Amino acid sequence: MIKVVRIIFPVILVLLLSFGSNTHVHAQEKLTTIQGAVSYITGQNIYVKFENTEGIENGDSLFINKNEVLIPVLVVQHHSSISCLCNPVGDNSFQIGDLTVAKIKTKQKSEVAEIQIENQTEKDVSEKVISSISEIKSLRSTTKQDIAGTLSISSYSNFSNSESDNLHRFRYTFSMDAHNISNSKLSAETYISFSHKLNQWDLVQEDLNNALKIYSLALKYDFNNTTSMYVGRKINSKIANIGAVDGIQFQKDWNRFFVGVVGGTRPDFQNYGYNSKLLEYGAYIGQNQKVENGFVQSSLAFFEQRNDGNTDRRFCIFNTAIHL
């Protein structure tokens, strides 16, 4: 019986990975450049804004053009869809508006469509967390327990004429939303993913955060129907542009209006792990407006972010979201 199980289990695992996999054909690549501009400068970091950062990865170099020669001056530490947070190289000085150049690899159109399919599963994680952990349920007055979750497994493969260039990546995702645990006022939510490449397990052992990403892991306590508090890592849909916050979030509702305060730290730029040096705090106010098929949520937030005790950014954010 034990021998049969040892034979059947690997077969089932292979079938699961096969059903969840997407195969991509490696196409010819062409090196090109895109231009960005310095948008913000702090004592330790330089922010560069692009029209689109597709093709730019953490660890890439950004260049300046001197006499038709590209000279590396910045290293990308973290990037979003339109901007990069960088560290300077050498003794170069920068001003707002200075132009930089990034080298990226462009692919043939036949491969672009396949990449878009893969990127659909890797879209902005803030949207995935917010959509998978419903904020609407938190408005209920009932304290009846309601627990739901998902576990998904997927794999992605790139095949090349050169076997050494073949790439196989595996991704495991777990999300759970537990409302009113044991019919109490305590709730919990989590959204975690683990991904690694075949034959590159040494990178996982070197730093677990290279593979493990905790996007949400928080407890919620409802003092009453209008007052609640989150503790842990949480992406707040009312201030989604801030991203995940490691700390405490407190909110009070009055009819269709709400106000909240937030204090804690933001995830590390390089590996999305916990970083006690990245302090942030702020407050927000907003309202929910009912429409025919849902509601419109608008909020205004004021935040300060610090880096190792120094002020990194101060800003205000106006956010509007339509829930249908």
> In a structure prediction context, what are the per-residue pLDDT tens digits for the chain, which is 324 residues long?
444 434 444 444 444 444 344 434 444 456 788 999 988 887 677 889 988 888 888 888 899 888 888 888 888 888 877 888 888 887 788 888 889 999 887 654 444 444 444 444 444 555 555 555 444 444 444 678 889 899 999 887 877 776 666 778 888 999 999 989 999 999 999 999 998 888 888 888 888 888 888 989 999 999 998 999 999 999 888 887 788 899 999 999 998 899 999 999 999 888 888 999 999 999 999 998 877 777 788 899 999 999 988 988 898 988 887 765
β 146-159/21-25 pair status: parallel
Q: What does each C-alpha distance from 165 to 27, 28, 194 come to in angstroms? A: 12, 13, 23
User: What residues does 252 pair with on adjacent strands?
Assistant: 227, 259
3-state secondary structure labels for all residues of the chain = CHHHHHHHHHHHHHHHHHHCEEEEECCCEEEEEEEEEEEEECCCCEEEECCCCCCCCCCCEEEEEECCEEEEEEEEEEECCCEEEEEECCCCCCCCCCEEEEEEEEECHHHHHHHHHHHHHCCCHHHHHHHHCCCHHHHCCCCCCEEEEEEEEEEEEEECCCHHHCEEEEEEEEEEEEECHHHCCEEEEEEEEEEEECCCHHHHHHCHHHCEEEEEEEEEEECCCCEEEEEEEEECHHHHHHCEEEEEEEEEEECCEEEEEEEEECCCCCCCCCCCCCEEEEEEEEEEEEECCEEEEEEEEEEEEEECCEEEEEEEEEEEEEEC
pTM as predicted: 0.58
* Domains in the chain with CATH codes: 29-107 (2.40.10.170), 112-323 (2.40.160)
pLDDT at 100: 92
What are 260's two structure tokens?
A: 């909240």
